[in-house]
Structure formats: C-alpha cells, structure tokens
Structure 1
Amino acid sequence: MPRVITADEAAALINDGDTIMVGGFLGIGSPGTVIDAMVKRGVKDLTLICNDTAFPDKMTGKMIMNKQFKKIIVSHIGTNKETGRQMTAGELEVELNPQGTLAERIRCGGVGLGGFYTPTGVGTPVQEGKELRVVDGREMLFETPLKAKVTYLKAARGDKYGNLRYHATGMNFNPVMAFAGETVVAEIDELIDFMDPDDVHTPGVLVDYIVRRGR
C-alpha cells in the first residue's frame, strides 16, 4: 500500500544529477504541486524525460526557468522559448524524439525490453549516432529504453491502495510512465477509500507514494 506524503517529501526523493520522468502534455496531466516543491527545493543538474517543457510559467517550464536541468529528453520544445534559448546557448542538452518513439522507449524501459527498431527518423537528424539495419526490406533505427529514478504522475483520483484514474486528455503519458520509474509518485486531486476495478487506469501495485494536490 503506498504511503501518502507531502509535495515537499516527494521533491526530497531526488538529488542533484538524478533522472526524473514527469507526466503531462503541455502541462495538462502534470503534477503541479510536486513541481512547485521541486522548484522551491532547487535541485539541479537533473535529466528530464517528458513529452515537452510546457510554457515558461507552467509546470516543467518553471523548472526550465529555474535552470534545474542539464539534459531533457522530449518530443518538442516550441512552446517554451527559454528552453530554446538555453539549448542555443549551450546551457542545456536537448534530445528530441518523435512522440511515438519517446512513448515506446519509455514502455520498453518499463517492461524490461532492451530497445526496439523503428523506421521513424530514418534519413533525418534523428538517425545520427544510432544503429541502422534492414528489417523485412525496410531501414530501421534502433532506439534504447528509458527509465528514471523517480517518476512523477498526475491523476484525477486515487484510492488508498494506489489505484489511479485519469481525466480525459490528462491521461497522456502518465500510464506508460508508471511502469518506468524505480520509484513512482502520483499526485491526485481526490483520495478515496476504494476504486471500482473497472475504473482503474493504473494499478496501485505500480505506485509507491501519493501526494494530494495542494498539500
């Protein structure tokens, strides 16, 4: 059974230089209370695995503004001009992945696979430095799995057993990321005693800690 902790306690699970995953898509489905706690704590030199860096004043964008990352592994950065500035200035390493490739790399990390081959990115800058081989007559790139020391999720509802349910597009990357963290923290809007099994999106066996939004 996961333990209910504060946002400050959740932020204290990581140290300088760690790799984290954060759910969300342009801030939707991101754990805002925990992100604010990480900004307050000021942990540095992190590697971020996330779909994007949101906006300068929202979610992971706040951590970009606070210069807390040394590297980000993302799908796009176009909505946060500070991310682009830091990349251009050599202050931040940015690894861009096609969105489907990013999701599959996370899935592979979560289920223990050693990587996968995909035609996406062949003949583009994405190919640089990657193994290329022909599979069934098609050129494919080899992509490696992704994992994190701590994964931070956001769900609409959770029960005392850690079972989670997301709301609408707030689901996005959260379910697949739940498999890929050594430690998994879920920020939730509402804590209930028991969730109907048919309502569960992420089973509680994957969740280590729960944070109630705003606490």
Structure 2
Amino acid sequence: MYEIMSSDEAIRLIRDGDCICVNSFVGIESPVELHEAIYRRYQRMQSPRHLTIISSAGFGVWDEERNAEGYIREGAVDRLICGHFGAMLSTKKLVLEDRFEAYNLPLGCISHAIRAQAGGLPGALSKVGLDIFVDPRKEGPGINRISIDDSLVKYVEVDGEEFLYYKLPKITVALIKGTAADRKGNISFDDMFMSGDALSICQAVKANHGKVIVQVDRLVDTPSRPRNAIIPGCLVDAIVVTEPEERNEAYSALTGSFEIPYEEWSVWNEKIDTVSAKLPKNSAVGNIIGRRAAKELRVDDIVNIGIGLPEMVSRHARKNGMLDMVTLTVESGGIGGFPVSGEAFGAMIGASSVYDMANQFDLYDNGGLDICFMGALEVDGQGNVNAHRGPGAFAGIGGFANITAKTPTVVFCMTFNTKGLEVSQKKGVVTVEKEGTVPKLVDKVASVSFSAKRAIANGQKVLYVTERCVFRLTPKGLKLIEVYPGIDLEKDILEKLPFEVEI
C-alpha cells in the first residue's frame, strides 16, 4: 500500500548500492524534487552511495546545479547507463574524466531491456547496434577507460541469425514524475509531455522487490478513468506531492489538453522557440540542406526528424505543402503532431497519440518508419556515420541507432565542413564564401553510429545532403549524385575530399 510522504521521507527508502531507474526524456519530465532530496540526504549522511542509475534517454534539466548533477558530482553514483547525456551538463564532462563508470546504449534498446525485465526476462534481443560502436566486437558501450563491464551487451546467434543481447542490472528503485495521484494511488500523466518507460520501470522494480517513488503535482479525490491511470496504485510505495514548477504559457501546447489543428502548429512552435534554446532557422546553409532534403518526402510517409540541421526539413516541408501529408513521430512516444526541440525536445505540438516509449521503438526497430532525417558529425568514404561522439565531447547515441537501423530511406543532413563555414545562395546559385576549418567528410570516422555495410545488406536508400552537393550510398561507398548550381566540382568538392568517390 502506498504512503503519502515528503521527498526527504521517501528518499529514505533508497539504500546504498541500489539500482535506480529514472523515467525522463533528455531534459523533460525528470522528478527534480526527488533528485534534489537525494542530494540533500547525501550531503548530510554520505548516503545513499554506490548507486547505479539507468535512464533510457537521460535525466538532466540543462542546469549543472540542479536535479541529479550535485550528488553525481560528489560521488554518490558508481555507474550510469543512459541512451543520452545531452541535458546532463556537468555529468557528461565528468564521464570523460573517468570519475565513474558510464555506458551509452541505444535508447530504444534500454527501453526494451527495461520492459523485458518487467516481464521476468533477463534481457532483450535486438539487431540494433550490430556493427556500430556498441557491438562488443567493435568498441562496446563503455564511454571511458574504467567502463569495462562486458555483461551489458553481448553478441549472440539465435536460429542462425545474429543479434545483440542487452541486459541491465536488476532495477530496485523507480523514480517517476506524474501529474496526479487519486485516492487509490493510481498515477495519471494528463499534464505530462510523455509517459516514457514509466509502467515498465515500475513493473520491473516490483518484480525485483524494490521501491517505487512517484512525484506528482497534486492529489485528486476522483479516481482516474482506467485508461488514464498509467501506473496502478498497487505498484506504488511512496507518493510525493510537489508544487509544480512554473512553465511558460507556450508549453501548455505540449500536454495534449486541448486540440491544436495543423494550421496553428507554427504559431505555437514560434512561441516555444522564444523560451527554448534552438538553432537559428534562417541560415543559408540550413535552408539549402532543409529544402533539398524535404524533397525526399512522399505522401503518407511516417517520419522521424532529428534535432539540429534536420529540423530545417520540417520548415521546408511546410513551405512545399508536404508537412500536412505526412505523419511525424518522436522517440518519446508521440505520433501525428509537430516535434519541438531545444529544452523541450521529446514533446509534441498537436500529437494524435502518445504511447509508451518501448512501443515507439517497436515501430522504429521493425522498419515502421518510411523515412528519417538525421544529423552527422562525421562521414567516411564508405558511408559510415559518427553522430554521437566528437573530439573531447559526447552527447550519446540516443534513438539514432534505432531510427536508422531499418528505416527504408535514411537522409543525413550535414555540412561539408564546420567551424567558420560561410555560404550564400542567390537565385538558386550557391556560393561558398568561406570554408570551415574542420572537415566532416573524413578518411575514417572516430566512432561508428551508423554502419554502411549493414545498410547495404538491408537494402536501405541512404543519402547525405550537404550545402553544396548530395551523395548516395552504394556498395562501393559514397557516390556523388548532385552538385548544386554555382558549386565548382573540383575546387569545392573533389579537392576537399580525403577519399575518392564515384560520380
């Protein structure tokens, strides 16, 4: 039976050595008060310590002085297992200093491994991750020198087929944020942007005889409608009622509490842009890439659009009338609306459905998307892509590996080089005003996020759209298939490539 507790009382349920699973998505829907209560207790008692924390998509809030950053920095955590570290500003720096073990697994594979544990299975099989960095035959999932646990990902063969087997430590504590708890302890998520892995996490914890702690905005007398109770009260140990943080009015568009027709998506997106960190939308480079990439969309496509340069695809899809003819999706579980980015990445304007994250990755892993648009840090002559780790920095693979593993058409949106690149376009003619100092087309990528060999075997169509030309993946490597007006083939492209390409 659940109890209503203060955050400090609830955190006493956590013991040294526990494995905590946090339900959040990059920078949204983290149970901030529960994390900060852990930090308060750790500062007083140096406990709980020797913690393992698992989160499919990470659990930061874009502020290195809030949420879990403090107790991680001061030594309470021995091991992190996450799909994405982008919103964990100080933590991702400490990872590279070997301060604790840290592992980066594809977001969807963590989600599926949590669900497997909820069903009494030790782990989950997946073809996602084969031949990329996480494959133990390549690098494995460890991010730093002390992360050498080889039990998290194993290469296996079943019935003559090859898979990776993802196995997580037994989860003993759930930290969840919901909207409301009714008098039976049922937890609803009505004002939340997503429910993520919440139910699977709670089921796994209870199967492991652990504790489920839920932070909510309010208590309500009227029981939730059965379909709205994401977590049944019988799975909950502690409910912590916390005054909800103030949100800008623009974010009300992301809860699904009122209908937002297609015609109003751009209005609400502009409102959110003003309060959420976003890349500038009006650069010539972004417009060139976004306009060309958007031409790959077809009526009735089911689509995923990554953050950064790929976001320009949606802008130009709106201009050419295609945006209303396709279905957009986001990794956290939303379908049929308009994904936002910046600090609210993972939320959707006008979604028609938001379901559990594991179900979204069922769709992605089995080729349910028609097309995806992704960014890239590096591409080599074979067509391999590094999208998760730059020199001296990393954010993590996130859902990238799942999204690109089986989608029939994959479009990478990237600049030819970076750091100082200046490009203009007038009347359709592209001019490279100044080259960047850091090449993005390289002889060999530093780490593989996308395997060209695997894509060829799968029969995927793969394009690499830049601000000056377009490449296509072939069995021999990259093939140059388009050069934009104004671009000199030799001077602007071939002379700057460290490898030969078919033309």
TM (normalized to structure 1)?
0.89
Aligned residue number for residue 52 of structure 1: 58
The counterpart of 1:191, out of the listed 219, 223, 235, is: 219
Q: Which moved more, 1:77-86 or 1:150-159?
A: 77-86
Say which SS state the counterpart of residue 172 (structure 2) adopts. strand
Q: 1:106 touches 1:146 (CA, 8 Å); kept in 2?
A: no
- State the Cα deviation string for residues 125-154 of structure 1 (Å, max 9, x = none): 212144323446642111124432211111
2:25 is aligned with 1:16 = no
Question: How many angstroms does 1:161 deviate by?
Answer: 1.4
Q: How does 1:61-80 map to 2 (within 5 A)?
A: 61-80=69-88
Aligned CA distance change for structure 1 residues 174 and 156 (closer, same or farther; 3 Å): same
For the residues of structure 2 that align with 1:59 and 1:97, how far apart are their CA atoms? 22
Structure 2 unaligned regions, length at least 5: 137-149, 245-503
Aligned residue number for residue 127 of structure 1: 135
Q: 2:155 touches 2:162 (CA, 8 Å); kept in 1?
A: yes
Q: Count how many residue pairs are aligned between Structure 1 and Structure 2.
A: 215
Question: How many angstroms does 1:199 deviate by?
Answer: 2.2
Aligned CA distance change for structure 1 residues 145 and 18 (closer, same or farther; 3 Å): closer
Say which SS state the counterpart of residue 78 (structure 2) adopts. strand
Q: Which moved more, 1:126-135 or 1:112-121?
A: 126-135
Say which SS state the counterpart of residue 17 (structure 1) adopts. coil
For the residues of structure 2 that align with 1:66 and 1:209, how far apart are their CA atoms? 26
Q: How does 1:129-208 map to 2 (within 5 A)?
A: 129=150, 130-135=153-158, 138-166=161-189, 167-181=191-205, 182-193=210-221, 194-208=223-237
For the residues of structure 2 that align with 1:198 and 1:173, how far apart are their CA atoms? 16
For the residues of structure 2 that align with 1:168 and 1:37, how far apart are their CA atoms? 22
- State the Cα deviation string for residues 69-119 of structure 1 (Å, max 9, x = none): 111011111333422322222111101110100101111111211222111
Say which SS state the counterpart of residue 178 (structure 1) adopts. helix
2:260 is aligned with 1:212 = no
Q: How does 1:28-47 map to 2 (within 5 A)?
A: 28-42=28-42, 43=47, 44-47=49-52
For the residues of structure 2 that align with 1:147 and 1:195, how far apart are their CA atoms? 30
Question: How many angstroms does 1:67 deviate by?
Answer: 3.3
Q: 2:20 touches 2:52 (CA, 8 Å); kept in 1?
A: yes
For the residues of structure 1 that align with 2:87 and 2:171, how far apart are their CA atoms? 24
Q: 1:11 touches 1:34 (CA, 8 Å); kept in 2?
A: yes
- State the Cα deviation string for residues 23-59 of structure 1 (Å, max 9, x = none): 1113422212211110100132211112314132342
Say which SS state the counterpart of residue 40 (structure 2) adopts. helix
Identity %: 28
- State the Cα deviation string for residues 4-34 of structure 1 (Å, max 9, x = none): 1110111111133221112111342221221
TM (normalized to structure 2)?
0.40
For the residues of structure 2 that align with 1:139 and 1:185, how far apart are their CA atoms? 38
The counterpart of 2:101, out of the listed 86, 93, 96, is: 93
Q: 1:152 touches 1:185 (CA, 8 Å); kept in 2?
A: yes
Say which SS state the counterpart of residue 126 (structure 1) adopts. coil
For the residues of structure 2 that align with 1:45 and 1:202, how far apart are their CA atoms? 28
> Taking CA–CA contacts closer than 8 Å with sequence separation of 6 or more, which of the two structures ends up with the larger relative contact order?
1
The aligned amino acid for 2:155 is L
For the residues of structure 2 that align with 1:203 and 1:88, how far apart are their CA atoms? 40
Aligned residue number for residue 110 of structure 1: 118
Larger Cα Rg: Structure 1 or Structure 2?
2
For the residues of structure 2 that align with 1:191 and 1:168, how far apart are their CA atoms? 15
Structure 1 unaligned regions, length at least 5: none
For the residues of structure 1 that align with 2:169 and 2:114, how far apart are their CA atoms? 5
For the residues of structure 1 that align with 2:26 and 2:65, how far apart are their CA atoms? 11
Aligned residue number for residue 283 of structure 2: none
- State the Cα deviation string for residues 138-181 of structure 1 (Å, max 9, x = none): 42111124432211111001112121111342422323212122
Aligned residue number for residue 5 of structure 2: 5
